[in-house]
Structure 1
Amino acid sequence: MRTKAYPLKKLMVFSFALLIAGCAKKEPVETGPTTPTYSFTGTSADELMFEDGEAMSVMTSESRRFDISKVLRVTAVNNTTIEVANFAPVDITDATILLSIAGQPQKIQLFHIGTIKGHRIKKMPYPFISGQSEYLDVNNVKADLSAYKVNGIKPADVSFEFTGTTAFIGKLKKLSIIKWQPKMHDFDPENLDNNWLDEPTAKQFRMLTGFMINFAYMYTDAAMKGRLVNELIVGNDGATPLTTAEKEADWIKAQTRTKINCGLTDTRKVSGLGGGSTFGIPDWLTLNYMTNSYSTPFHEMGHVLGYNHSSSMTYPQNNRGNVPVFMARQDEMNKAGDFPVRLDNYYQPGDIPSPKASATSALKMAGKVKECIE
């Protein structure tokens, strides 16, 4: 009997077709431009902020005022130069800087940051001045920036923002609703006998910047807002409860404060000082805020919002009011690791003191020390 051969013939034809396909010339696959990547990890003096030995005049200069909503800040210095700064005492990784140009329909993915270490600042030319001309916009459509290679872009025509998918960047993005503009201050440059600390240090300012970021973060917390709005809080007459509308308005007022001048108090005389744009807290608080809750900052924010000592927006009445609610929520958030600045990501671990067994109870009583500017 003859064996049928057609299955073998089919196999030979199929193999021949594959051979031809493999030998055929492949068309190149078109790819878009890649986003340039930079890291900012320098150690030169002009790249470090709040470093030991830095001049007080520099640490407290207006150029060191930053927006809480833009802890990772990019600004245009001139037509061809930008400045990249990280005002957090935490290394930021995997961030993308977006550039908006007047007249351009979409934001441009200008560059990617592999790492920018805590409290770093760096001036650099726009990447398109001496580098690539083509970039991707936020829709991954090619954008040609060659028109700006020679003369750059006027600072008034640009703005920047950052984006990313890391947990830390997610927390920083939540701060976009906060309008605070903190700046470090030496409120006692002549070292007079007053309520302010003589000679604040770079270490204290490093810790204080982290505290202000965490403090602001509490004003993005929906649970915190809900508890505060539902809390019994009396006004400046010491008796009349604030309405829900008044408490909600105070929440918005706290979020939208602008300039906040931050200083350190002399705890031999006062625990905190606050009112108007002044916000002063003690050094020991800046050293321990990542593990303990404290009354002082919430008390002082009560003054910043216009409340006096008769109001439970500053001092509790029968353990009710602004301060106990904030302290309880701060304890929860510390325990859960919710805050942006934490023990496990603070960039200079040597700044953080060893825990003391009796610290919590002692420091929570500090609100009983004379406080505030009214």
Structure 2
Amino acid sequence: GIYAGLSANGEYSGTESIESYDITENRSFYSLPSKEALSGFVTFESNRSDGTSFVHKYRFSNCKIEAGRISHISIDYRHPESLDGLLYIREEDFSRFRTDTMFLANEPRDIFYNSKHRSFYVNAPLQVSISDEHQLLVKFFSPIAIHDVTILCRFNKISTEFLELAHFDLIYPFMEATFPLPVVSSDRTFTTSSGRKIVIPAQPELSGDDVTLVIRTEDPYMKKIEQIDSRWFIRFSAYSADNGHAYWRHMNPLLCRHGVALATNMAFMFSSEEFNTEMNRYEGKLKDNGGNAINLDALRQRIRSHGGLVLGRVSGVGGLGGGTTYGLADYCYTGVYFDATPLGSNPHNYARQAMFHEYGHCLGYNHSSTMTYGDQWTVLCATVFVNMGQEDKLPVSSKDVIANLPM
């Protein structure tokens, strides 16, 4: 029903039909006028958030295309999930949101030294919260990517059930990102953990106090993290780097990344069956500051209940430690991985010795104990640490994990 030609005298002639025209890019179609009102179909091909596709087909009629005028076809199209509250993020969606990476090379000190921005618990590296802008804030203190993560939410004043608030196909290493939540601006339908549908009214002033958030995932890395039985709080400090101190120096973002891996690996190792089995062989050999044998169960409890580590950087010595103070030289942060030394070499290298020597101080032991010097505690720890790394049992086994990340 569309004229096919326009002559020099302004007369239209001929006829052509339109069988199919893709308007994906600009939603417009340019043509000569129509002889009469047109009818036909508009077909929508789209995807659901889980990747499955569907087709909706709408009929239109009485569309007259006139010379010099714009004609419209209006379709009341709604995506099947247009009123759903679930925020579904695929890897290709990140470019649409405010996403960043922590500990990039140019990250300023006032960020990575600020525990409000850069701190975590070793048994909870994935942090989800509601930001001051009423958005979902995600931080992941890990050099390992994880997949298929669902965030469950309970609106404390509205429902006693947990709802599916967000799903991520991927959370990339050291991710820091914020995502607008659909329920902030309009009523949304959610699916409860029991499969029931529930409508939550718009939450324009949504805050952290309004919700309880829970993370659900079967990712192998997070399954390892679940085995950590301590709750060490990890953050970073300059200590006396600006005061002319003989040993303290400033951290940098790369060392912060290695520090995340080191603290996570150490906490995981201390929670492992491999470590506890090997430590039993040292019954009576681990001595306290007075030379008395340390009760191994009491030592395990002391490790579990330790408050955490404030990571710093030293130069001129291998490390400084005590309480929560934990400073290591550069080569200690980077040289403790199993593949930082040749295969078959003595696992008790200087970097690993310093790593566990300083943690012995953090547990309250001095140089008169066997928890710092001697071939006891540090040898025990270094041997298990290397063996678990070689067998890829640690959360971050190889030095290449961090070396291959973009800075």
- What TM-score comes out, normalization by structure 2 length? 0.68
Give, as a single letter, the amino acid of the residue that structure 2 aligns with 1:308. N
Distance (Å, rounded) in 2 between the aligned partners of 1:155 and 1:187: 32
Task: Report the counterpart of residue 16 of structure 1 in structure 2.
Answer: none
- 2:330 is matched by which residue type in structure 1? D
Change in CA separation of 1:140 and 1:296 when aligned onto 2, cut-off 3 Å: farther
Choose the corresponding residue for 2:329, options 271, 282, 289: 282
How far did 1:178 drift?
2.2
Alignment of 1:205-224 (within 5 A): 205-224=256-275
Give SS of 1:178's match: coil
Q: Is the 8 A contact 2:328 2:355 kept in 1?
A: yes
Match of 1:10 in 2: none
Choose the corresponding residue for 2:278, options 188, 210, 227: 227
SS state at 2:333 partner: helix
Please show how residues 146-161 of structure 1 align to structure 2 within 5 Å.
Answer: 146-147=200-201, 149-161=202-214
Matches within 5 A, 1:231-242: 231=282, 232-238=285-291, 240-242=292-294
Q: What is the distance in 1 between the residues matched to 2:171 and 2:308?
A: 26
Describe the superposition over 1:32-88 as per-residue Cα deviations: whole angstroms up to 9, x where unpaired: x79532157569997221111111111111221112222111012248223111111
Q: What secondary structure, in the 3-state scheme, does the structure 1 residue paired with 2:226 have? A: helix
Following superposition, the deviation at residue 187 of structure 1 comes to 2.2
Residues 189 and 295 (structure 1), Cα distance of their counterparts in 2 relative to 1, 3 Å cut? closer
8 Å CA contact 1:233, 1:241 repeated in 2: yes
1:335 aligns with 2:384: no
- Report matched runs for 1:297-308 at 5 Å: 297-308=355-366
Which one has the bigger strand percentage?
A: 2
Matched, 1:181 2:181: no
Instruction: Judge which range, 85-94 or 37-46, deviates more.
Output: 37-46
Deviation at 1:229, TM superposition (A): 4.2
Percent sequence identity over aligned pairs: 20
Cα drift, residue 261 of structure 1: 0.7
Name the amino acid aligned to 1:190: D
Contact 2:154 2:161 in 1 (8 A): yes
Equivalent AA in structure 2 for residue 220 of structure 1: S
User: Which residue number in structure 2 is paired with residue 51 of structure 1?
Assistant: 104
Of residues 363, 373, 379, the one that matches 1:315 is 373
1:212-266 deviation digits (Å, cap 9, x = unpaired): 111111122122123324422111112x2123xxx22222222232342101111
Query: Hey, what's the Cα distance between the residues in 2 that align with 1:156 and 1:350?
Result: 35
Identify the structure with bigger relative contact order (alpha carbons < 8 Å, sequence gap 6+): 1
Q: Which residue of 2 aligns with 1:370?
A: none
Gaps of 5+ in 2: 1-79, 341-346
The TM-score normalised by the length of structure 1 is 0.74
CA distance in 2, matches of 1:334, 1:273: 25
For 2:320, the aligned partner's letter is: L
Equivalences for residues 1-374 of structure 1 within 5 A = 35-39=86-90, 41=94, 47-63=100-116, 64-78=118-132, 80-102=134-156, 104-130=159-185, 133-144=188-199, 146-147=200-201, 149-175=202-228, 177-190=229-242, 192-197=244-249, 199-231=250-282, 232-238=285-291, 240-243=292-295, 247-266=296-315, 268=316, 270-291=317-338, 292=340, 293=347, 294-316=352-374, 319=375, 321-343=376-398, 346=401, 348-349=403-404
Q: Which structure has greater helix proportion?
A: 1
Q: Distance in 2 between matches of 1:206 and 1:69?
A: 16
Equivalent pairs, count: 310
Q: Provide, for residues 266-319 of structure 1, a one-character-per-residue CA deviation record: whole Å limited to 9, x for no partner.
A: 1x2x11111111011221122233325512222212111111111112223xx3
The one-letter code matched in structure 1 to 2:120 is F
SS in 2 for 1:69: coil
Structure 2 CA distance for aligned equivalents of residues 143 and 253 of structure 1: 46
